[in-house]
Structure formats: C-alpha cells, structure tokens
Amino acid sequence: MSLFLIAALPFLGAVFPALLIRAGRNAAASAAGLTTFLALMGLLIHSPAVLRGEVIAARFDWMPGLGLNANFMLDGLGFLFALLILGIGLLIILYARFYLSREDPMGQFYTYLLLFQGAMVGIVLSDNILLLLIFWELTSLSSFLLIGYWKHLPEGRQGARMALAVTGGGGLAMIAGMLILGNIVGSYDLSVILQNKELIQSSPHYMPALILILLGCFTKSAQFPFHFWLPHAMAAPTPVSAYLHSATMVKAGLFLMARMWPVLAGTDAWFYIVATTGLVTMLLGAVIALFKDDLKALLAFSTVSHLGLVTMLLGFGTKFAAVAAMFHIINHATFKAALFMTAGIVDHETGTRDVKRLGGLRHLMPITFTIGTIAALSMAGLPPLNGFLSKEMMLEETVHTTWLNSHCLVPGLAVLAAVFSAAYSFRFVSHVFLGPQRDDYPAKPHDPPVGLWLAPAFLVILVVLIGLYSAAIVGPLVAVVSSAVIGGEKLPYYSLKLWHGFTPALYMSVVATLGGLFLLALHRRGEQIWNALPRPEAKVIFEAIINAFTRLSRLITDELHNGVLSRYAVIFVTFTVGLGYYAYSTGTIGIETRVPLPAQIIPIIGWICLVGATLGIMWFHRNRLLSLVLIGVVGLIVSIAFNYLSAPDLALTQISVEVVTMILLLLSLNFLPTETPWDSAPARRWRDAAISVVAGIGSGALIYAIMMRDFAFPTISDFHLANSYKGGGGTNVVNVILVDFRGFDTFGEIIVLGIAALIIYALTESVLSTNVRGYLLNRKPHWPQSGDAHPLMMVVVTRVMMPIALMVGAYIFFRGHNQPGGGFIAGLIVAIAYLMQYMASGYTWAIERQRFYYHGTIGWGVLIAAATGLGAWFNERPFLTSDFGYINWPPLEEFEWATAMLFDTGVFLAVLGAVMLALDSLSRFAWQPGMAQEFPMDINPLRDDPPEEEEKEQV
C-alpha cells in the first residue's frame, strides 16, 4: 500500500465515526477499527522489505518553492513507531468501545482518535521536516481535543489547555530549530539532512538548532522541567491516557530524538543536555510516582520516569545505548498500555482509582489481577519479562558512562531510580490487588466483560513472550530499527537474552528489586516524610505564568482597542500618511515621461460639479437627505468620467450600482435621524479637517505622479489584449478578463457578494425578532406622507417598463463577451427592473407576484459558476479553463458560444440575488400591517376604497 494512503487513511476514516454514530456505537467503533486495521495491514505488507533493511519512499512535490514536499519514507524506525501507533490504536479502539459510557459522544471520540492517529503516523513517516512539523502541530491540536474530551470536567479542560500550551509552545520552538537545520543543509528533506552530520555539527548554528529542537522534544515527551503537563492530562478518559502516554504522543519526542540521532548526537552538548535531562526526569518521575495515590497519576509519573530513561539512553550517544533505547520503547509500550487499561478497568468496575480505597481485589477480579500483575512486574524489571531485558541493558550501559569525570554518579542514580521504579510497581500490585478484601468499595468489584480485558491481555501475552523469546520475536525488528537510528552503521554487539552471567547489571537489578521491596515495606513512613516536605506545585506556577500573560495582553488590548472607532481611524490615516511621506522623502522618483492629455471644457464642467458636490457634502453633511442627493451627483460624474476615459464597462456598472446604492441609502435614512447633531468641538473638527486635507493631497499627488509616468515594469495587459480573442473568444477584453483570465477572482467575488447578502438577511431576521419590530410598527415617519402611496402614473410606467428593462438586461448580458456589458451589469439592470416594481406598486404587491427566492438565486449563481469551472476538469484542463466555438444557424448570423457565457450566467444570478436580497431585507423594516389590503391600480369593482387612516407610508 502506498505510504500516502497509509498516512491518509486515518484522516479519511475520521469522517466515518462522526457520521455513523447515528447507526449506533458499534458501527462507529467498527468504522474506526476497520480504518486502523486497513492502515495496519498496509504497513505490514511492507514489513518483509523493511526487515531486509530497505527504505520505502513515496514522493510528491507539494510546494517545491518553499521546500515543502509531501515526501514519505518508511525505514525501520518509522516502521516500529507506525506499528505501535496503529497496533495499539486498534486495541484502544476495542477497549474504548466498552469503556465509554452511554452518555459519552462516542462518534466524536473516534473521530478525534483517528485524527490524532493520522497525525502521529504522519510524523513517523515524514521524510520532510516541514511536513513533519505540520503533523507535529496536528498532534498537539488533536490531543487537545482528546484530553479535553470530557468537556464538562474542569480538570479535563484545564489539562487539555495545559498540554496544548506546553506541547504547542515547544512545537513552535522546534519549528525554529528545524528551519535553522534546513538552512544549514540547504534542504528540508530528512534523507538529505541525515547525510550531513559534519556540516551540521561544525555549523555555528548547531547549538541554537539543537536547543530549539530539543525544546520541542522535551515538551512533547514530558521531560523535566516540562513534565508537569502529563499528569494533568490524566483527566482524559483512560483509553486516551493509555494511547497518548504509552505508545504515541509522548513517544513523538523520543522518536524525533532518535530520528535526528545520526546528525545531532555524539557531541558534548548533546550528551550533557539530553542525558542529564533524561537522568533527572527518570529519578524525579520515579520518586513522585511512589507517593501518588491516584492509580493513573502513579502511572503518569512512571511514564515520565520511563521516558526519561529512554531520553537518557539516547543522550549517551553510544550505539549500544541506542539499541537499548529502541528495545525499551517496544517494551514500555506493551506493559504501560496494559497497565493503563488495567487501571481503567479497576476504575470502571470499583468506581475509584484511589489506591487508599482499594486492596484485596485478587479474588474479586482474578483476570484483571493476572494482567495487572504481570505488566507491573515487567515495569519493575523482573525476569523473565521484557521490562527486565531492556532495564538490564540500560544498567549495563550506565556502568560505562562517565559524567564530568565521575564514574559512579550515573550508575548510582540509575540504580536509585530503579529502586523507586520497582517500589511503585510493587505498590501497584500489592495495594490494589493484595491485602485483605474490603467491604467499602464504591461499587461491587467483578471482572469486566471480555471486550475490556481482551486488549490488555493480548499486550501482556506479548510482554511474556518478548521476555522469553526476545531474540526470535523482536530481534530482527530491534536490529533494523537500531541500525536506522544509528544511521546505517554497523550494529554494536548485543544479545537479547535473559541470562548474561554475573554482570554488574545483574547485581544492580538485584539491588533495585530488594530496595523496591524494602521501600514498599516502609511506604507509610516514607509517605509521612514526603507529605511534610515542601514541594513546588507545577500547576500553580504554570497558572501564575499564564495569568500574568493574560493580564499583560489584556492591558495592551484594552489600551489599544478601546472601542473608539474614530480614534482607530485617526491613527490609521495619520500612520498611513506618515508612511507615505517617509517613502516619498527617502525614495527617488523618476522623470515625467508622459504628455498630459489636454483638458477640454466639458471635463472641466464635470470636475467643477464633482468638486462642488463633494465640498457640499462636507459642508452640509448634517442635512442627511441633501448630502445623499449630492453623493448621487458625485456618482453620476464618476460614471460619466469612466465612459469618457475609455471604460464603458465601468461606466455601466457604476451607474447601475449608483441606482441601487441610492435606493438602499434612502431606505435606511427612512429609519435613521434626518439630521446629524454637532458633537465634536471646533478644535477637533479643525484637526480632522487638517488630517483629511493632508491625506487628500497625498493621494492626489500620488496618482498624479503615477499617471504622468509610464509603467515601470512590462505590463501583463498586453498578454490579455493579445489573447482575449484567440484564447477567450471575446473581443471585450475587460469581460474576458473577468470571466476567463481571472475567472477565479470573479468566482471568489460573487461568493463574497452572496455572503454579504446573507449577512444582511441574517441581521434583519435577528433584529426584527426583537422588540425593534414593535418600535418600527409604532414609529412616526420623519416627513409628511404622500396622499397617494402608489401614484397611478408611476405604476403604469414601471409596469410598461418592466419587460423592456428585462430585455435590456438580456441584451447587455448576451453582448457582454464582445461589447461592453456582461453578467455583472445585466444582474444590476434586472435588479433595478424589479426594484422599480417595489417602489411603484409596493413591497407586498411585488412579493406576492414573485415566483423565485433570492437565496436560491444566489446559490444557483455560485453553483453554476462552480459547475462551469469544474467542467474543465472533465476535459483534463485546470479549473475554470474556458472553451468556445461558433455556431451557424441560418438565417441567423454566425454567433459565438463560450463556456465563459455559462460562467457569466452564474455571475448574473449571484449579483441579481445578492442585490435583491439586500434591498428586500431592508424593505422588510418598513412593513406595516394592512399593506396587503391595498391593491395598487388593480381595477376591481368589488373592492372598497381603503379607509383614510390605513394609508401608510410605502416603500
């Protein structure tokens, strides 16, 4: 199976549980399980090749300009992790089906789980560090959803937020580190980076890159001092904890350290940072775990400790340590997932996971007891279980490690950690299962249904088998994984077996086991001492830091964003003008190369009208109706100017938009105050006037400078002019650009227009459903109302004009490809034709006779435009490629048919629908009861003349 498919399967599958949950929980779980199973099978198909040491690759150039390629590779290391992620994922899916209760939304759970799984698989299969970073951040996001799955629990929400802040923050640091690394090597492909050890380690940027990448790894893998998020993430449902903290999320950091091991490891910096952090984490996690009463917290800190162990081994930088690290990852995943599931079962069946309230469960829950005990003893490192093997290898390696000339520091601390590790493992068994049976369990304990214990039982069998026959079962895998980690060099000598003779490691193991038993016996005393010790509480510190940041950002936001819009505008304008002045005073400006066009008398008259109207608006803007009239003058002059300056399409558009805008503003003025009161002091007005005059001079001077010079670079317009007829089949270049060359822009614009209209509709709906409606019904009009709401002359004229206007619209539409016109203008003209009916005969009258809905019109417009664009795909062309031909139907003249015209139909419908929906919504504000009884100009002898007082203002 292609690596693309393996990585994509969980994401594709994530859709199904959310949909299938309506068919029941089994359907959702099966869909999730089946997807994972398929991906797992796809992976296993590659296993013979991978075990032979081959590297499977799948490459796809995604954004080559950025160096971001969707390259995947599968080597031993990726194979091991993908196997853990998918294999344990499958077990978790089974377990979760029986663990989650009826109230939990299970569809959501599986969807989140598969998203997370996909992100994890993506990390381990990526052969491009940018791609890896994308998946890395995806794991942070999807784990946030999983940890916070029980949204009703505050601990769940806080834990999820903390995990996101810590791991996401570390991820950001890692992005920087990876970019530095890619910059050093000159490629973002892992396979290239891994070949360049000398280049990277001799670079002056090695240290910053190393620290930043390690920050990402340490936060993800919960290394000291970032370990605190992991225990808080235990608020998640147990299947999530079992998955995230045994096999996946926290192993991502280890994976990355292992992946980068060939190029980053081997320096002193690497050894002292990584090995020391790992050692401290291992010891600290083990000590804290011993004193946790919550089963999951105990396991959480033990996970922290084991992650520290692996980190330390990777930090040693020797080949043998790398082998031990890989082997321990396998072992830890098996026994820790089983232990989490056991803890979940205990919690599920007894109603508590507080160790202090448990004990004596061995006879009540024999199956759980067996599973839990074997897994815990493996965690303690007892033979013949798999945990013993890798712990021996770890201890063996510490003996050969010197830390700052000290030979016994590392082995000593490692043994101490092992003592505590054995102690908490024994405690898990003895305080939960051994001891006297109690009679105060919150629920009556019994073994769970098979669905719950099957998954951990399977893992425990692996624990035993790997322990007994390690070389046969995982030997080849460990060999190929380790050789991938150490960069394909020769493997060191090691042997996976239980008995190595009387080695130092064996004595250390014996000490650890006996010490563990001793500590367990003294647990009560130890706990008293532990509780008396002052300890920093990570959560309090974390929250204090977060709160400080929140206060800071709120302070800044409140200062900058205080809701005074006019202040924002002042700042924006002055800043822009200042920038413009800076550019002008520091830059150079070329000489004028164009000869100005002579100004004839008519343009001068137009200019006087426009400037006069504009100044009039400024002067009289308090009188709102008058300023609307003057704005109409400005709009008219602008459209005439467009026409004069060789832009007939713009002139047509501007004048029709002008009409609908005027109607819109007049309608709204109907409900707003007619006068603007004075409410700024004269000083402020002078300041505003000064700002605006400077800005006006700036923009005028800028455009003058542009107009007097030729293009600085060759223009692409010549291409459009040359290809408009040849390639687009139309002679109106502006229209061909709109529907063909830049059709995608136009497509976006009609969507925007449609959304704007829908916003207006939604606003109207929400406002009219409040007490505003009552106010509108009782309001007094601003001006005296006309005695005749629907003047006879106007009604007659508009009805006669309706078909003519529609015909003009059709004409403008059809000629648009070759002559000025097109869908935009036709849409506006037809909208005006309808609006005339609204105005003359009344809104209610027009609505009653209308046979289509505006929402649908917008929708059809966008769909038709999209369908036209998609049609190109069927001819193996890119989206929105247009085609055209000529049709000759005698006796008609030859005429042209272009797919662009279909696209233009979409534009037409969207514009028509959007304009009408906007004005229609506004018109509904004016609705008054009793309007429907009026019959403008309907000659009906049976009708009584409406009484005088019912005549209401009409739209």
Partner 1 sequence: MEALVASAVGVLTAAGIFLILRRRTFPVILGLSLITYAVNVFLFATGRLALNAPAVLNKYEEVPYTDPLPQALVLTAIVISFGMTAVIVMIALSAYLSSKDDHIDMTAQDCVDAPGEDA
- For residues 853-872, which are near partner 1 according to CB under 8 A? none
Using rule CB under 8 A, residue 633 touches partner 1: no
Binding mask 425-464 toward partner 1 (x if CB under 8 A, else -) reads ----------------------------------------
- Distance (Å, whole) CA 256 – CA 177: 12
Minimal distance in Å, beta carbon 840 to partner 1? 22
Binding mask 505-544 toward partner 1 (x if CB under 8 A, else -) reads ----------------------------------------
Closest among 319, 291, 324, 294 to 306, alpha carbons compared:
324
Instruction: Provide the b/e sequence for 210-249 (b: ≥16 CB within 10 Å).
Output: bebbbbbbbbbbbbbebbbbbbbbbbbbbbbbbbbbbbbb
Minimal distance in Å, beta carbon 702 to partner 1? 8
By CB under 8 A, the residues from 611 to 630 that bind partner 1 are 611, 614-615, 617-618, 621, 624, 627-628
Minimal distance in Å, beta carbon 811 to partner 1? 16
Using rule CB under 8 A, residue 763 touches partner 1: yes
Binding mask 785-824 toward partner 1 (x if CB under 8 A, else -) reads ---------------------------------xxx---x
Nearer to partner 1 by C-beta: 155 or 688? 688
Using rule CB under 8 A, residue 553 touches partner 1: no
Provide φ and ψ at 433, rounded to 5°.
-105, -35
Distance from the Cα of residue 619 to its chain's centroid: 50
The answer to whether the CB of 245 falls within 8 A of the CB of 319 is no
Token pair recorded at residue 209: 């890159």
The answer to whether the CB of 207 falls within 8 A of the CB of 302 is no
**Interface pick for partner 1 out of 764, 857, 899, 905 (rule CB under 8 A):** 764
Token pair recorded at residue 778: 């009782």
The answer to whether the peptide bond before residue 384 is cis (omega within 30 degrees of 0) is yes
The answer to whether the CB of 174 falls within 8 A of the CB of 133 is yes
* Beta carbons within 8 Å of 342's beta carbon, 6+ residues apart: 368, 371, 372, 375, 456
- # chain residues binding partner 1, by CB under 8 A: 118
**Interface pick for partner 1 out of 387, 635, 869, 913 (rule CB under 8 A):** 635
Nearer to partner 1 by C-beta: 135 or 854? 854
Nearer to partner 1 by C-beta: 517 or 695? 695
Minimal distance in Å, beta carbon 812 to partner 1? 13
Using rule CB under 8 A, residue 776 touches partner 1: yes
Using rule CB under 8 A, residue 647 touches partner 1: yes
Minimal distance in Å, beta carbon 162 to partner 1? 16
DSSP string over 14-42: THHHHHHGGG-HHHHHHHHHHHHHHHHHH
Nearer to partner 1 by C-beta: 87 or 861? 861
The answer to whether the CB of 124 falls within 8 A of the CB of 255 is yes
Nearer to partner 1 by C-beta: 65 or 682? 682
**Interface pick for partner 1 out of 649, 904, 920, 934 (rule CB under 8 A):** 649
End-to-end alpha carbon distance in the chain? 66
**Interface pick for partner 1 out of 390, 724, 837, 841 (rule CB under 8 A):** 724
Minimal distance in Å, beta carbon 934 to partner 1? 25
CA–CA distance from 347 to each of 215, 434, 746 (Å)? 35, 16, 59
Nearer to partner 1 by C-beta: 199 or 666? 666
Minimal distance in Å, beta carbon 805 to partner 1? 19
CA–CA distance from 761 to each of 668, 858, 909 (Å)? 15, 13, 17
- 751 exposure class (CB count in 10 Å sphere: 0-12, 13-18, 19+): middle
The answer to whether the CB of 896 falls within 8 A of the CB of 736 is no
- 579 exposure class (CB count in 10 Å sphere: 0-12, 13-18, 19+): exposed
Using rule CB under 8 A, residue 575 touches partner 1: no
Binding mask 652-681 toward partner 1 (x if CB under 8 A, else -) reads -xx--x--xx--xx--xx-xxx--xx-xx-
Closest among 866, 850, 832, 858 to 911, alpha carbons compared:
858
**Interface pick for partner 1 out of 288, 289, 321, 757 (rule CB under 8 A):** 757
Nearer to partner 1 by C-beta: 97 or 817? 817
Minimal distance in Å, beta carbon 756 to partner 1? 4
Q: Which stretch binds partner 1 (CB under 8 A): 483-491, 748-756, 801-809, 935-943?
A: 748-756
Q: Which stretch binds partner 1 (CB under 8 A): 58-66, 537-545, 565-573, 839-847?
A: 565-573
Q: Which stretch binds partner 1 (CB under 8 A): 297-305, 348-356, 731-739, 785-793?
A: 731-739
**Interface pick for partner 1 out of 642, 834, 845, 908 (rule CB under 8 A):** 642
The answer to whether the CB of 813 falls within 8 A of the CB of 807 is no
Angle between helices 106-125 and 25-45 (to 10 degrees): 10
Minimal distance in Å, beta carbon 707 to partner 1? 5
Closest among 301, 296, 523 to 426, alpha carbons compared:
523
Nearer to partner 1 by C-beta: 358 or 919? 919
Chain position carrying tokens 């509108």: 776
Minimal distance in Å, beta carbon 724 to partner 1? 6
Rg (CA), the chain: 38
- Distance (Å, whole) CA 873 – CA 867: 10
- Distance (Å, whole) CA 728 – CA 731: 9
Query: Helix, strand, or coil here: 448?
Result: coil
Q: Which stretch binds partner 1 (CB under 8 A): 37-45, 213-221, 590-598, 890-898?
A: 590-598
Nearer to partner 1 by C-beta: 178 or 760? 760
Minimal distance in Å, beta carbon 685 to partner 1? 9
Phi-psi domain of 893 (left: phi exceeds 0; alpha: psi -120 through 50; beta: other): beta
**Interface pick for partner 1 out of 4, 37, 469, 644 (rule CB under 8 A):** 644
- Distance (Å, whole) CA 560 – CA 562: 6
- Distance (Å, whole) CA 310 – CA 279: 9
**Interface pick for partner 1 out of 552, 721, 863, 932 (rule CB under 8 A):** 721
Using rule CB under 8 A, residue 246 touches partner 1: no
DSSP string over 504-552: HHHHHHHHHHHHHHHHHHTHHHHHHHHHHS----HHHHHHHHHHHHHHH
Binding mask 595-614 toward partner 1 (x if CB under 8 A, else -) reads -xxxx---xx--x--xx--x
Nearer to partner 1 by C-beta: 359 or 612? 612
Minimal distance in Å, beta carbon 606 to partner 1? 8
Query: Helix, strand, or coil here: 469?
Result: coil
Using rule CB under 8 A, residue 834 touches partner 1: no
By CB under 8 A, the residues from 687 to 706 that bind partner 1 are 688-689, 691-693, 695-701, 703-704, 706
Nearer to partner 1 by C-beta: 442 or 748? 748
Q: Which stretch binds partner 1 (CB under 8 A): 190-198, 266-274, 436-444, 718-726?
A: 718-726
Using rule CB under 8 A, residue 765 touches partner 1: no
Using rule CB under 8 A, residue 66 touches partner 1: no
Binding mask 885-924 toward partner 1 (x if CB under 8 A, else -) reads --------------------------x--xx--xx-xx--
* Beta carbons within 8 Å of 289's beta carbon, 6+ residues apart: 297, 298, 299, 300, 301, 302, 304, 305, 420, 421, 424
Minimal distance in Å, beta carbon 322 to partner 1? 47
